[in-house]
Amino acid sequence: MKLPNKFLIILLSLFIFINIAGTTFAQNEEQWERIQEALNYYVNKVRSSPRNLPLHRELMEEYTQAGLAAIPVFVYQDAVKRNPKNYIVLYVMGYAYLKQYMQSQLSVGGYLFLERQNSDGKSMIQMSFVENLPYSPLEMAKENLMKALDAKPDFPDAIAAMGDYYMLTDKPDKALSKWQEAVKMDSKCEPAHLSMARFYRAMGRYNEAVSEYQKAISISSRNSARKYLELGITYMNMDDLKKAESALLKARSYDKNMGIIYYKLGQVYAKQGEREKAVDMYRDGKKYDSNNAQAAYDLAHIFLNTNDIKYALMSLERGLTIDAFDDSLSREILSYIEKGTIPAANFLSQLSDFEYSDNFHLHYFLGKLYIKEDNKDLALRHFRSASALNPDHADVHYQLGLLQEETQPELAKEEYQKAAELDPTQLADAKAQADLLFKTAQDYLERGMEAKFIETARKGLALYPNNVDIHLQLADIFKKRADIYRNNGKEEQEKEALEDAVKHYEQAAELQPDPKKWYNLGLLYERQGKIKAVRAYDKAIQLDPDFAKAYYRRGNFRLNYKVGRVNVLVYEPEVAIDDLKKAIEIDPELADAHFSLGKAYFQMDRPEEATAEFAKTVEVDPTNYKAHIYLAQDYANSGDNQKVIFHLTRAAELNDKDVEVLKDLASSLLKYGDEAGLKPAMKALEKAYRLKPDDSEILNNYGYTLYMDRMFTQAIDKLQKALEIRPDYPEANYNIALAYSGTREYDLAKKHWQKVVELKPNSDLASKSREFLKKLAAADAQ
């Protein structure tokens, strides 16, 4: 909905009068009639379609732009009094307060306030500026929106408006959460999509902003001019000038009377080097918005960036003339422009030193002009003046940083940080914005501020996604985090960190392909259990046919990759062998390749070849404890017990946290070793016990070694624990009987030998237990 031109003129003239007066008005009949006409128009429109929420919002937008947000507030205050529990009325009341607050941030001199006054018994409307409203618009907005949600909790429009409230109270995370909640509830919630689009654009997340603008446009044609305008500006921020032009032309097709559309189109044409079209668009814009100095200044900077200095100076003159309301100034500046850049710059510098010393735009422009003229000292002077006049302008700080980067690097970093924390979108183009963010991110990383580095680097990549170094730095950070999470058993966090690492390695490998990047990506895919690891190693080998590790990792992955609940191998072992042999051919000292090849032969039941490869592994790398384990297993099968003990001992030395190795070593020492093996067996079992104190087998064997070392009481303690865990454990019953006999507690020994006979009557242990029981019986008979 678009207000009629005639009515807009009335609203704007009313607003102009209020700004000039700055005091209470509606003191005469004509002024009262204007207020009443604006008020009646609003009431009639909303009454014609009271449940049409887009109509309400559009009217509020129109009145806010005209400086009359007090009228919707006034209208809905009456509606709430009549319908205090109606969720729609409560919602539009809350939304109106949000708009009143937004206007208050733009108006000069205070808030617009509308109230009823009684005069001679008659009710009369009065509008005034007041320095302090009798209420806080933001708090009133929250109160009414919460009431609306109490009445209807699943009301997406009110939830989206709460997001706007949180944004205005500087809680962006809460705001985004509310908008997302509204969209999840209703995918066609236009206000939520539009608010998210504006939020993403402000954050420099332009691709997400574009997506949200497109959704908002597809949902409704209402206010399409404004939506296409903002979409066009977003494309301008992205330096996608063709799409920007298309969106802005769409905006113009919906509203031919909006001056800013022409100004933005002019800026697009100026950036494309189409000077005449740019000037034409600027002139068209002036027909609808004649006093827009900022549009002239913006055009001046674009012409300056495209080295069209004369037109840059002429655009600056337009802005200065509009600001100063001084036609004589215009003629004087233009005369110097005709003389050339240097005379014009000198004259403008004089203006900046005296009568226009407080004009930020003049100093800012001169700073950039003197950079073009390679006069860094004068550029620095004007940018410092501009910074003093407007300390919140990001590009000024960025330019100061660039000028000081070589001579005063620490000051440069401070300026970059200020610019990044303000509004990087003020910079000339997406590349400059990204450059600022990357410089700032690097500074954060150097100072150990990893979280700030990630946040700032991501903003930079949203603008310029092709920075390979930043992608690699982020990938390494997330990989290290994944390692930490894995070590701490935090599986979900590890998974998320790995996903981030993969995403950035993928970008780096695609942007700047080299074998190392693809190899590292393959390793990450392996950790995720993704078959894409093979493709990554393929790429690494294509780029470097002699990359031994890539052949090894591809072969090893194929040897181990399983799918399904029953863990079925995807590749036959034969498929991996060629890769592993190729890796060894390129690098005979690659121990891991020998080990994997040994595993392949082991899976194929080729024991001699497997043993040879495991032996080669420990020859090349004596610290490969898994190869020692396999060798111990191979030699156990062939009956070479001393080699079994040797390799298990080496494995336990290399990794004394592997309980199974410690158990196997102790068992082998007790079974195949001599008396000297008792102490090493006891030591191995002591370590195993510390690692796994509830393992009945460890407790039994540990107890037995203590018994053998005549430490009967300690042996009984461990064997009792084994039997508490597993009462029907024949070996533990037999061993504790031996220990009790050592302490001369024969009745207890007899009980446990009897238990062995009961549990396993046909075993050797039962036979031995019967012998001991006979001896005890004979001793008792004497």
Nearest alpha carbon to residue 113 among 94, 99, 132, 98: 132
Average pLDDT rounded to a whole number, residues 388-406: 91
Average pLDDT rounded to a whole number, residues 478-492: 94
Say what the pLDDT of residue 205 is. Answer: 84
Residue 122 has pLDDT above 90, yes or no: no
Say what the pLDDT of residue 107 is. Answer: 54
Q: Which amino acid is at 154?
A: D
Task: Give the pLDDT confidence of 605-634 residue by residue, as tens digits.
Answer: 899 999 999 999 999 999 998 999 999 988
Task: Give the pLDDT confidence of 288-315 residue by residue, as tens digits.
Answer: 988 899 999 999 999 998 999 999 999 9
Residue 564 has pLDDT above 70, yes or no: no
Task: Give the pLDDT confidence of 310-326 residue by residue, as tens digits.
Answer: 999 999 999 998 887 67
Q: How far apart are CA 440 and CA 456, in angstroms?
A: 7
Length of the chain, please? 782
Asked whether the beta carbons of 331 and 347 are under 8 A apart, the reply is no
Host H or E run for residue 568:
strand 568-569
- Reported as a pLDDT band with limits 50, 70 and 90, residue 261 is very high
Reported pTM: 0.64
Residue 183 has pLDDT above 90, yes or no: yes
Tell me the three state secondary structure of residue 129: strand
Residue 121 has pLDDT above 60, yes or no: no
Handedness of CA 473, 478, 483, 488 (dihedral sign): positive
Gap between the terminal Cα atoms of the chain: 117
- Cβ-Cβ contacts under 8 Å for 504 (sequence gap 6 or more): 471, 472, 474, 475, 478
Nearest alpha carbon to residue 572 among 593, 555, 592, 549: 555
Q: How far apart are CA 733 and CA 125, in angstroms?
A: 101
- Reported as a pLDDT band with limits 50, 70 and 90, residue 569 is low
Residue 447 has pLDDT above 90, yes or no: no
Average pLDDT for the chain: 88
Task: Give the pLDDT confidence of 645-674 residue by residue, as tens digits.
Answer: 999 999 999 998 999 999 999 989 988 877
Say what the pLDDT of residue 114 is. Answer: 66
- Reported as a pLDDT band with limits 50, 70 and 90, residue 9 is very low
Average pLDDT rounded to a whole number, residues 574-579: 88
- Reported as a pLDDT band with limits 50, 70 and 90, residue 49 is confident
Residue 25 has pLDDT above 50, yes or no: no
Percent of the chain with pLDDT over 90: 65
Q: How far apart are CA 76 and CA 97, in angstroms?
A: 10
Say what the pLDDT of residue 22 is. Answer: 37
Say what the pLDDT of residue 109 is. Answer: 44
- Reported as a pLDDT band with limits 50, 70 and 90, residue 127 is low
Say what the pLDDT of residue 739 is. Answer: 95
Average pLDDT rounded to a whole number, residues 178-197: 95
Say what the pLDDT of residue 131 is. Answer: 59
Residue 674 CA to chain centroid, in angstroms? 62
Say what the pLDDT of residue 575 is. Answer: 81
Say what the pLDDT of residue 37 is. Answer: 82
Q: How far apart are CA 346 and CA 520, in angstroms?
A: 57
Indicate the DSSP class of residue 136: -
CB atoms within 10 A of CB 9: 11
CB atoms within 10 A of CB 118: 8
The angle that helices 309-324 and 275-288 make with each other, rounded to 10 degrees, is: 10
Residue 115 has pLDDT above 70, yes or no: no
Residue 1 has pLDDT above 50, yes or no: no
Say what the pLDDT of residue 570 is. Answer: 63
Asked whether the beta carbons of 738 and 768 are under 8 A apart, the reply is no
CB atoms within 10 A of CB 484: 13
Residue 160 has pLDDT above 80, yes or no: yes
Burial 308-323 (b: 16+ CB within 10 A, else e): bbebbbbbbbbbbbbb
Asked whether the beta carbons of 524 and 498 are under 8 A apart, the reply is yes
Handedness of CA 171, 176, 177, 178 (dihedral sign): positive
Q: Which of 115-124, 160-169, 694-703 has the lowest mean pLDDT?
A: 115-124
Residue 56 has pLDDT above 60, yes or no: yes
Task: Give the pLDDT confidence of 128-156 residue by residue, as tens digits.
Answer: 555 567 788 899 999 999 999 999 999 99
Say what the pLDDT of residue 7 is. Answer: 47
Asked whether the beta carbons of 554 and 579 are under 8 A apart, the reply is yes
Residue 19 has pLDDT above 60, yes or no: no
Asked whether the beta carbons of 259 and 296 are under 8 A apart, the reply is no
Nearest alpha carbon to residue 543 among 516, 522, 515, 523: 515
Task: Give the pLDDT confidence of 733-778 residue by residue, as tens digits.
Answer: 999 999 999 999 999 999 999 999 999 999 999 999 999 999 988 8
Say what the pLDDT of residue 38 is. Answer: 80
- Reported as a pLDDT band with limits 50, 70 and 90, residue 16 is very low
Say what the pLDDT of residue 590 is. Answer: 95
Q: How far apart are CA 194 and CA 250, in angstroms?
A: 17
Q: Which of 69-73, 226-230, 326-330 has the lowest mean pLDDT?
A: 326-330
